[in-house]
Structure 1
Amino acid sequence: MKPLCSTIISVWEVLGASLGTQQEPSSCGILTDPSVNVPGIGTIHGTTLTPNPGVRQFLGIPYAQPPIGARRFAPPQPATVPFPNSLKTTTQLPPSCMQHLRKQPPSIYTQEINEFNLQGLNTTSPRITEDCLTLSIWTPSELSPTHLLPVIIFIHGGAFSIGGQDVPYQVPAQWVQRTQSHIVVSFNYRLNIFGFPSAAGLPEAEQNLGLLDQRLAVQWVHDHIFAFGGDPSRITLWGQSAGALSVGYYQFAYATDPLVTGLIMDSGNEMLDITVSSDSRRGNFTAVASQFGCGNLSAAEELACMRNVSAQDMEDFVSTYTQAGSRLAVPFLPVVDNRTVFDNYTALALSGNLAKVPVILGSNAQDGVPFVPYSPGGVNTTLADIATLKIMFCPAFKAATNRLKAGLQVFRYGYLGNFSNISPEPWMGAYHSSELPLIFGTHPDFRGNSTALEYATSQAMQDSWLSFASAPSSCKATGMAKQNWPAYASVANGQVREFGVGSTGALTGSTKAIEALCPSIFQP
């Protein structure tokens, strides 16, 4: 008799075959046409390019109407469909949302590793626009018409202020080229004042516009990924840093309708407390409004006036004040609205008010390095260790134990890699975000080729993420057993997967001593 999980996987493969695909198979039973007919939307033309000939890419698909004019500072609306003509995507990644790169104080991201910035520049991309709500899809160039693939949706980080699809280290083509067995989707969402305005003229439930963008993007993928060979019953939502916070928020915001069957949080989760009430931040929106002739107005008039201000002028003003270190230094972030963001996640978890799906959750050994003062010779390691503990490790520990108490499957990891082409200075170690080039497969693209251990670590992380995404929700443990990664069963006996040192498959209980250092609010 087949194991239950094997039976479930087989059923979905058969179901995919019976449902068919949205384009005719070639004579050899393999789909190779870089064009896809998406029911209700139209034909989307993709491209296949060297040096990854085994990958089809569909770049810049609109999932929402342009958030401009009256739609600025408003919840996203689904893209107008069907497209009046077929959509021909380009070979260039789409423009990112309005943003500015904070250059002061200097950090490792501006001084050492620009590949985490848009287009690898020491600035934001020259291609930014308010009309930015698009997503991109990477699939194997040859697809079987009878086998649907698991889907991983990536939410980029960047402190809810910067980032997008146009980040050199975060393009998944090399990962898909290597595995030929999954689909990756990346998308833009509104940032800073455009995504999190805290405007008095907006209802409380419409303040976190960037998070509402994220939900609409997930909905689009769930509804349409079948046409690209993806399995809508096996979608994993993965985020890093602010993207990981977003995934944590998502699990509670859509407790009864998650649309996904797995969640991955890299160096961030809902227990990293950056939120306040919208009331406490409304002064920031008004401060910006007053600079553009929108001051001394009613809340509704202020909002209407700000919808007519040049997006670039507004961004430039916020940038100037941010660089100056004014009270707008961290002005526009998610606020507690009790719709997308809540104020007591432990209580919600213990009462079972979260999506009942398995999670991967972890952090990096030197996550705190970018969060302390930078100097070319290094950082204060004591301060960096404190930042690692309090900003990333302890919230991850608490998020994991909350989910254990809620009866969910949790897979914990720690990333310890210190590779010279990712961390050009030894003191940088496994800094915040340094795991991403390993997962995306972009680690050998800059500063020389990778070491054998680096390639092995990359493949171990890629294979683990893919095993997690490939298994149905009820069978994650079976899939992860293939990667020598048992579920984190308890605080006393749970094991954590280590990546990046020695054996990439190491399991360790050494986190117990570190967990004991966490403040009481993070203890189970």
Structure 2
Amino acid sequence: MARFLIELFAAFLFLAAAGLAQQVPIIQTTAGKIQGKAVSNATNAYLNIPYAQPPVGPLRFLGPRPILTPLTQRNGTAFGNSCIQIAAPTPIYTVESEDCLYLNVWTSPSATSRLRPVFIWLYGGGWNSGTASGYFNDLTSWAKAHPEIVFVSINYRLNFYGYTNSPALSSRDTNAGLRDQRAAVEWVAANIRAFGGDPTHIVIGGQSAGAASVAEYLYAYPLLPLIRGAITMSGQAALANVPAAGNVPGLPSQGPNPFPKIASSVGCPLIQNNYAAQLDCVRTKTVAEITQAISANNVYGISPFVDNQTLYTTPEYKARAGAGRFARVPLLTGTTENEADLFVIDRTTNTLNQTLSDLITLGAFRCLDAQQAR
């Protein structure tokens, strides 16, 4: 009798799971049809959705390019690749690849016709590590707790692959990682209605470098932001400029443009000022070769650079703030109390200079307007 009940219960669970899978609708998007999965009775997840062409081959180091040929149908039941990491402080649980421009959507299968607000999440990691999947950025628990919101997480390129600073790049291709974020927002605005989201009520938020990216976004797209609000958790628009402009102790100096050193180290020196040929040469090198060159030249901490489109100097940000030249949307901002601990902890003695950590947190990560408001 006990065995019969166990088998009956197992069969019930199997049928229930099968029922959930069958109830998850296939969503038509500009990337093709997406098959998702149920993560609870009230939440469906659509994972690993491409929002741009893979930035590989001739597209390596360039800004995102739109998808030209949508897939017939894509399996969106598992997370996709993470972008290439440099010195990630926490484990990355998915495969690293340059083919990483994917986003994830969590939505309620509710039958209501009312569109729901949308929240887009940008991960932190100093623009050198981070992923839209993994323990810290899997938004499943958020979506389960708030079925009234459609949640989206996005991957964007990092380190050398996202912030290649070569004179050969056109003005549309600088700071590719920041431009990835804009491409993802555009994709969400064009497609989120199919997931039950309201494209006119999109809020974008992030933490640390993700928060700084959000702030930079507000200045980069003041006239057509495509969003209705922003949330920054420990990050401000000039964060990438802090070591050079603010001389905050404890943070590594950006120093000169690392591209010439890395290019030379992988066998691509500049010859007769032919920057295009040099960049083409670097495109032929493997990830392992580039990673080795980064390590050999000790140029960790590659971040966005001033291009006066996606990133401005600190004085320019202050001028634009004073003149109101930013996206006029509500902003919720705050600072994580121990944001800078990671930068100053002594890993040999496992001790922390709390005074120095607090100085960096308040000087580098706190919103510029919040500092002035005091």
- Place the TM-score, normalised by the shorter chain, in its bin: 0.7 to 0.9
Residue 361 of structure 1 is matched in structure 2 by: 333
Residues 401 and 259 of structure 1: is their aligned pair in 2 closer, same or farther, counting only changes over 3 Å? farther
Distance in 2 between the 1:353 and 1:215 partners? 18
Tell me if 1:378 matches 2:364: no
Q: Secondary structure at the match of 1:86?
A: strand
Residue 283 of structure 2 is matched in structure 1 by: 307
Tell me which of 264, 286, 290 is aligned to 1:290: 264
Residue 310 of structure 2 is matched in structure 1 by: 340
Distance in 2 between the 1:308 and 1:329 partners? 22
**Is this contact kept in 2: 1:151–1:231, CA < 8 A?**
yes
Distance in 1 between the 2:29 and 2:282 partners? 37
Residue 252 of structure 1 is matched in structure 2 by: 219
Q: Secondary structure at the match of 1:364?
A: coil
Residue 26 of structure 2 is matched in structure 1 by: 36
**Is this contact kept in 1: 2:137–2:153, CA < 8 A?**
no
Instruction: Calculate the TM-score normalised by the size of structure 2.
Output: 0.84
Counterpart residue type for residue 392 of structure 1: F
Residue 6 of structure 2 is matched in structure 1 by: none
How far 1:200 sits from its partner (Å)? 2.4
Q: Secondary structure at the match of 1:233?
A: strand
Q: How does 1:35-184 map to 2 (within 5 A)?
A: 35-38=25-28, 40-49=30-39, 52-83=40-71, 85-90=72-77, 92-101=78-87, 109=89, 114=90, 117-119=91-93, 125=94, 127-140=95-108, 142-184=109-151
Task: For residues 375-410 of structure 1, give each alpha carbon's deviation from its aligned partner in whole angstroms, at most 9, with x where no partner exists.
Answer: 4553122222222222223xx2x23477xxxxxxxx
Tell me which of 290, 300, 309 is aligned to 1:329: 300
**Is this contact kept in 2: 1:98–1:312, CA < 8 A?**
no
Residue 17 of structure 2 is matched in structure 1 by: none
Residue 477 of structure 1 is matched in structure 2 by: none
Unaligned runs of 5+ in 1: 1-31, 103-108, 120-124, 403-490, 492-514, 516-524
Counterpart residue type for residue 148 of structure 2: S
**Is this contact kept in 2: 1:155–1:238, CA < 8 A?**
yes
**Is this contact kept in 2: 1:271–1:345, CA < 8 A?**
yes
Using the aligned pairs only, state the percent identity: 33
Distance in 1 between the 2:361 and 2:49 partners? 37
**Is this contact kept in 2: 1:205–1:337, CA < 8 A?**
no
Task: For residues 394-445 of structure 1, give each alpha carbon's deviation from its aligned partner in whole angstroms, at most 9, with x where no partner exists.
Answer: xx2x23477xxxxxxxxxxxxxxxxxxxxxxxxxxxxxxxxxxxxxxxxxxx
Instruction: Calculate the TM-score normalised by the size of structure 1.
Output: 0.61
Q: Secondary structure at the match of 1:234?
A: strand
Tell me if 1:232 matches 2:171: no
**Is this contact kept in 2: 1:99–1:315, CA < 8 A?**
no
Q: After the TM superposition, which parts of structure 1 deviate over 3 Å for at least 4 consecutive aligned residues?
A: 39-42, 279-282, 375-378
Q: Secondary structure at the match of 2:239?
A: coil
Unaligned runs of 5+ in 2: 1-21, 246-253
Tell me if 1:191 matches 2:155: no
How far 1:71 sits from its partner (Å)? 0.3
**Is this contact kept in 1: 2:63–2:172, CA < 8 A?**
no
How far 1:73 sits from its partner (Å)? 1.3
Task: For residues 120-174 of structure 1, give each alpha carbon's deviation from its aligned partner in whole angstroms, at most 9, with x where no partner exists.
Answer: xxxxx5x10011101011112x223411111100011111100111220221111
**Is this contact kept in 2: 1:271–1:399, CA < 8 A?**
no
Distance in 2 between the 1:273 and 1:42 partners? 36
**Is this contact kept in 2: 1:94–1:165, CA < 8 A?**
no
Distance in 2 between the 1:299 and 1:41 partners? 34
Distance in 1 between the 2:29 and 2:45 partners? 19
Residue 14 of structure 2 is matched in structure 1 by: none
Counterpart residue type for residue 360 of structure 2: A
Aligned residues: 340
**Is this contact kept in 2: 1:372–1:387, CA < 8 A?**
no
Q: How does 1:392-403 map to 2 (within 5 A)?
A: 392-393=365-366, 396=367, 398-400=368-370
Q: Secondary structure at the match of 2:223?
A: coil
